[in-house]
Structures are given as C-alpha cells and as structure tokens.
Structure 1
Amino acid sequence: MNNFRTWLDKERCYPNGMLTREYAAGLTEFMNVAMNQESCLTSGKMLCPCPSCNNNIDIDKDLVWGHIYSLGIMSSYKVWFYHGETDAYHVGSTSENVPKRVEESRLDEGGVGTVQMVHDAHRENMQEFIEPANIVEEPNLEAKRFYDMLDASKSHLYEGCKEGHSPLYAATRMMNIKTDYNLAEDCVDAWADFVKDILPEDNISPASYNEIEKIVSGLGLPYQMIDVCIDNCMIYWQSDAEYLACRFCGKPRFQNTSGRSRVAFKRMWYLPFADRLKRLYQAERTAAAMRWHQEHSTDGEIAHPSDAEAWKHFQRIYPSFAEESRNVYLGLCTDGFNPFGKHGRQYSLWPVILTPYNLPPSLCMKREFLFLSILVPGPEHPKRSLDVFLQPLIHELQVLWEHGVQAYDVSWQQNFTMRAVLMWTISDFPAYGMLSGWTTHGRLSCPYCQDNTYAFQLKHGRKTCWFDCHRRFLPRSHPYRRNKKSFKKNHVVSDGPPPEPDGENILMQLRDFGVEKTTYCGGSVHNPVDGYGEFHNWHKHSIFWELPYWKDLLLRHNLDVMHIEKNVFDNLMNTVLNVPGKTKDNIKSRLDLPSICNRPHLHVLSNGRGPIPRFRLDGDAKDALFRWIV
C-alpha cells in the first residue's frame, strides 16, 4: 500500500547537488496532486511540508517546489492528509514507471553555472517523467473545471433561442457594454432585469449585475490591486504588505476617511499572466499554434523572431528549455499615454504589455494576444521608479522560469509543466532608459557606445550632436573613411567600432560604479553615482537583472520602429517645408557650420540671414508635393 512513498526514504540528492531520479519523480507526482486540491486552486497557496515550514505556513504553491527541492519533506509526514492523498494518487506510480538513476554530471565548482546546471538537470529529470510521448491524459483538475464551465455555457437562454445565445454569452456582452460606456451597477441591474422580463418565461438570463459577475468570474482570470506609496517609493506587497507608512519617505499609506474601509492614496493593478498562457493551450484554436515557432520552416529567411540569431543564441545556452516546444517566449513593451486626450488634464498612465512569441506572425500581434500585465497609475510620470511597479511581474517570471506551472495541452491531450522566458523589451528611446537603467540623453546616451563615443556639444545650438559618428562602423577600406570634405572637415576616421558590452561586462560596471537598485533605495530617489555623465550613464540597477538568464541574452532591449519612423519623417518634412519653429535648418545650426563642415555656401551672410539651401522646397514645389500626396 505504501510502496509509492518509498522515494521519501531514498537519497534526495547526488553529491553534486542534483536531485536523484527517483526523488524528482516522486516530488513531481506529489506536487501535481497537491496543486490540484480545492484550497490550492482557490487561493494559489498551500501548506509547505518542508522541515522549516513544518506544515504550519501557507505559502505560494510555486515556492513550495523550491522549499522541498532545497530541504526535502519533513520525515514525520507519512500520510499526506493536507495535500489530497487518495487511492487514485498512486496510479502509475509503481517501480516500473520510475526511471533509473542517471549518470552524475560533472559540474564546475561552486559558481553560478553550477546552480544553473543543477536546476536544468533537475528539470530534465522531471520533464521526462511527467511528459511521456504519445500518451493521452485526462485534463488536470483546473483545466477540467474550465472545460466543464464551457460545456455548461452552451445551454440556451430559453427554448428555441438563436444558436450560441447562452447565459455566458449574455453575461459577457453585458459586462462589455458596462465597461465600454462606464455604466453604473444600478443601471446594469435595471436593464438586465428588463431584458429578463421581456424574454420568454423559461429564460435563464442573468437578472442583475451580481449574477453577471458570478457567471463571468467563472472564467477564472485573476487580478491584484496593490497599494503604492504616494511618491512611488515602494509598493505594499509581499513582506511589505502590512506597512502603514512608506519605509522610505514615511508618508502614510491610507487616506483619512470616515468610513470603515481604508482607502489607499494610490494603487496599481497587476494581472498575472500565467493563467492566460494556460488558456492558450486549453483552447483548440491556439494550442497547436503555440508550437509554431519550433515546427515551421522558412528556408533561411527571417519571418519570425525565432528565425533570428538572438533566439537561436538563447536556445544554444539553455537547451533544456528549448527542447520543450510548449515553453513560452515572451516580449515586453511599455509606453505612457494620456487617457484624457486633449482635455487639458496632464496625466501619464503606463500600461505594461506582454506578448507570447510562440504564435505565428498572423496571430502574434493581434490584440487578443497582447496581455496587459501592469497598469502603472498617474498622474505623475513614473520616471526611474518604474522598477518598483515591475516587482510582481519579475517575481512571476522567476517562478515560471525556475519551476513552471502545470498546464494542459488540448492538441496533444497531455498535462505538462509550462515554463516561460522574457526574451526582450520593446519601447521608444526614453522608455529604453527607464527599463535598462542607462540614461538615454546627453553625450553618453548610446547604451552600446557608452563612453567610447564621438558625440560633441554644439556651441550655438547648445545640444549634443552625433554628426560623423557613423564612419567608424564602415569597413576599413571604405572610401568614406578618408573623405575630408563631405563629413567633418579635414577629418579622417581610422578607428574601428566600439566593443559591444556583454551581460557580464555590464554587471561588472554596475558593481564597480556602485549603482543601486530602485527597489532598495526607494523610487526615484537615488544617491549620486560616481562618474555619472562623465564615464557612464547608469542611474539604476535595472530589476530585469534579477532574472537568472538576463545576462545571457544577446538582445535585451529593442527600439520601437514606429517612433523612429515618425521622428525621422517629421524632422525631414519640417525641414524641407521650412515649417517655422520646427525646421532643423535654423540660424543656430548655420552658426555652428563653419567650425564643423566644409560648406561655405550655407554660412550665415553679413546681413544675419542664411542662404536658401537646395533642399528647401519653394511654393511651386510644395504645391506639387501636396498634389502628389492627395
């Protein structure tokens, strides 16, 4: 009867720290059942049976993996009545199904690589056991509930109604209308009751907003509202959840109100994305498409990020992650906008959006696959404190990388452990600085050239200029390198391009310059960093470096092409059309020309005016251009 528990009495780890095959298989089986218990599915937490927690502490289900991995299960816990031990639990757990002990891996001594290789090997042990090929499995309890809800939603609103008109359809439509038009709950109650009243007597349409909420809540996509310091110093989350005042600036958390419920000065919204990624595998429309990135062929052309070098570089470094085609590759983008438009109110709201890149190009950028993850509140610009709001997202990414979550793939009809990785971010250049920690303005604004730049200050324009910084990237034999007239006058370029800093080099810079993490020093308040603006532009230690794989990525941050195209087009058209106040061809730029360029025909004349350049359109040319556009 108790043979399936024998793995508890076996050796837990090999001498190199890797879990033994038998212990890994038993632990996986135990956790699969424990995470499908009613209490865990409802709260996302469970009692941890490690020797430290001793079944006395409720913690996040994904953290239990790490506790048991490091400490094992308490020796006195022989009957698992807290975690759902049943007769069905040990079906398929016989000794024949437990893989044999694998050969020990030779690891380097005590470095970061050791920890990563141990974790990768541990995951490979469990992956082979819980994902047997060509075996059809019943959905796990969470997925089964989802399918049961969908089946129940197929019931008709009333006998003889139009196909597809179900209580779930009615509830979701009503909820969408309420959201789109910002209707009050009393208003929804009134017209929901009216609709139910005019339908046939046997109808089961929801009659109130409360009933609508109950039906829609069955979709099971959670969200969190987290209190924030009014100055963006910290969020009241995890170990800081019980604070009543900011531990940095000391300002109170709650407003003084006469009501019983306490109202925070500021809140952020966090929408966990693991459940939404699971739904992609539970839906027949998208389950198979989530493997497209690994199954497609493009004959050497780059039709998708998975065809590019950055993706392949990551897969070479982490082959155990790449072997499972259902693991998820994510991209993150963010930007600020004013939700009040042109009504005069200054308000900066910052959404953070995640996109799964497993999908083919025809689906990848569709709106339904752009997952809103964080909504950073205004009205002030978050500036350097953006990392404070990213903490829940980074925590979930760490869990999805190290442990993964149980999911059901309807296309293969298998349960599997789904893991995820954040491949890169996408933003405009100012947001690039907020995400990366490198200030993107001033002479050292380029995150790749850093202090090895040819940028200089314009004497009259009072702006930093990068003119003639590009020739160093040309081939050594290119004639432009020796051209003394078309670029900077009398200047020949012999230097090569600056060395591109890798992850290890950047981490060394952050350490040597003493750059602090925003979450440690409180929002936008930063101690001055030695050499800032002269030798480097690091203003913070970005929170993304807490992801264990971030240092190994070939491409961490991308620039949004739309912003670049718009800015280039605007400046070009404003200049050739000579738009007052917006053209780049102004008196200050003409005054800077003599010291930089060999273009005497553009120098300022004795009357203080500049000659008309050939690139400026006259009246007839403007008319021809506008007629061509129309």
Structure 2
Amino acid sequence: MDHSWMYGKCNTHEYMLGVENFIKYAEENKSKNGEEFLVCPCYDCKNLRKFRSSEQVRNHLICRGFKEDYNRWIRHGESVIPSNRIDNDQENDDDNDEKNVDNEENEENDRIDELMRDIQGDDSEMPPIFESFSIDSEKSLYPGCSKFTKLFAVLKLYNLKAMNRWSDKNFTQLLDLLKDMFPNDNELPISTYECGASRYKRKNVAYRCEDNKSPPAKVLWYLPVIPRFKRLFANKNDAKNLQWHAKGRKEDGKLRHPADSPQWRYINRMFPEFGNENRNLRLGLCTDGMNPHGNMSSQHSTWPVLLVAYNLPRLCMKHNYIMLSLLISGPKQPGNDIDVYLSPLVEDLKMLWEESVMVFDAYSQTNFTLRAMLFCTINDFPEYALFVKMKQVIFG
C-alpha cells in the first residue's frame, strides 16, 4: 500500500484523503479483531495511547501528523513483513510451497500483533514492557534490513531454542556469532538474559536447559492490599468501625489501644490534612520466619508479612482482619534482600500516602480519597537487625 502521502503537508487534499483511508482501514481491523480501542499513531502519541473514538485519532493526525517512520501500519492491521505472492495463473508446485511458507510467516506476524495487543489490554496508557515490544517491532534488525525487525528476529531465535532444547550457554554462543556476522549497529542481543540471571533452578547442572520441568529459583506471593482496603469500606459495618478511633473510642487518658498513644496524636499534629480524615488508615506491619512443615529438625524459613488496620477497635487483632500481604517462600530467610521482596507492598503504600485512592464508603454512601500510612512495625529482638533495614526501605 502506498503511504507516500503520510509525510507531506497536513493541509493538502491528498493528506486529508489519506487520513480518511487510514481511519477506515484501522476501523476495519479493529472490528475484525473485536477491539474497543484504536491506537493513535500521531507524532505525539507514537502508538503509545489508544482511544475509543476514531474521531479523536483523526483530529490528532490532522493537527499533529504521523509519528516518524511509520511506513508500515503494523499496529493497525498490516503485517510486519510484506507478502510477495504471485498470480494464480503462474503457480506451480514449487510456488505453492513458497506461498505456504509465506502464509506461515504472515501468521507468525499476526501472532506478534496479537501478543502485543494482549499485553496492552484495555488501558489507554501503555505499560513499559509493551512500549519496549512496540519499539522493537518497528526497529529494523540492522540498518537497511527490510525482512526482519528486532522483535521478529528474537522471537524466531527463541523459538529455535525452545524446539531444540538448547542450553543458555549454547544459545549465547550462537548470539555472539550472529552478532559478529551481521553488519555493525545491529540490534541483536548478545546473551540469553542481558539484564539478569536465570529465573529457574538449574538442579546443580551447569547451563541446564530451562524446560517446563525446571522450578523457579524463588517465588514471592503478593496479595495486593488496595483492593482489600476497598472491600473493607464496601461493608457497611466495617466502614463504620474504621472510624471508631474518632467517633466511638472512650477518651479518659488511659492507654487501651494504639489510638490512645502519644504517637497517634503526634501524627495528627504533624499531618493535619491526613488526621482530619477519620477514614485514613494507620497500619501496623509484622513479619517473622516460620516453619510451615511442623518439623523441628528442619531449618526451613517461610516469611509471612502481615498488616493490621489500627483504625478498628479490638477487631484489629482478630484473624479476620489481619491481612496477609506477602508470603516470602523458603527455604532460607530473605536476609539483606528483604527490601527486594517488600518492593510491591512498598509501592502500594507509597501510592496510598502520596497519591491517595478513590474509595466508596458504604456506611456514609459517599466516595472519598483514601490515604494510608505505616504507623508501626512489630518484631522480636532476634529479628531487630533485619527490621532496621526494612524500616529504612519503607520510611526512606
């Protein structure tokens, strides 16, 4: 398809007609794939945003023009590699074989687009991993290469690795050789994992093939806390109890609950905006090693990370309201790497403190912006040294 009109002046009749043809082509592809959004290839969006309305995409293209070097519309229905098919009256047996190979290549290209669409999902913003795939899908393997993009070449190589059960060592040697054989400035990776170690156990065999039977080297279970806080406020009784510290607590100067502590009042003075909203959460965090197997001779150590909401009355110590947020599997304690395992929880806590989250309160039947803070951590003395680093990670 001729796209020479794309980078001319945006106020010409040819460009306007070309944009209309593009929108029509993209709409047909969207309908064929059952999608709800249309990716915008304008100069500013760069195929990184998508919209429900094709009119918005049309306005972007007319006002801003197309992104650079988008000569093949791979995000809107065109295949990565152009098809070189011949007329039916010239076909023979050899040509049929060649045509079948060409069809297989186009099917693989379509699967690349499908993979990229599945990763992006229905959000209007592009996650980092999808952005990387999108860039690689449009980047030539080396200057002047019209047959392979970086993404397509890497997928083909990994497909060979998987089918032939090549080890990491052998595959890296192949990449090194191809890197030297290709022209300079090629985009081929130089190792199996350029940015990190293997995610799978090697079972004490050097460079063992990572097949489906190889277990992961380490597993971290994270149960997101924000949806669970929303669920608490969605229950009328729980939503009422979460304001107990301000509307139901007996205040006679005696210390019965963390809400009676000087620290609670100090936080209200230091952060008045936070303290003025009774529904903002004050959380306690606790973690320690345990042996889930009931075998005292085993040194296996699994670490659950628990959260409690001190807004609640005595209910905060009931097992129904103690939240398991992380489970760090054994067999050894996390040690100095505790900050790595805490990362997903810390990110959510930072979001709740710095940005807040919109939540529905079933008791007052209103929406409000929820914030939360880590009120305290709980540990025994043997684990105190580990908690020092944990507090540094959480409190910065």
TM-score in terms of structure 2 length: 0.49
The structure where helix makes up a greater share of residues is: 2
The structure with the largest alpha-carbon Rg is: 1
TM-score, structure 1 length as denominator?
0.31
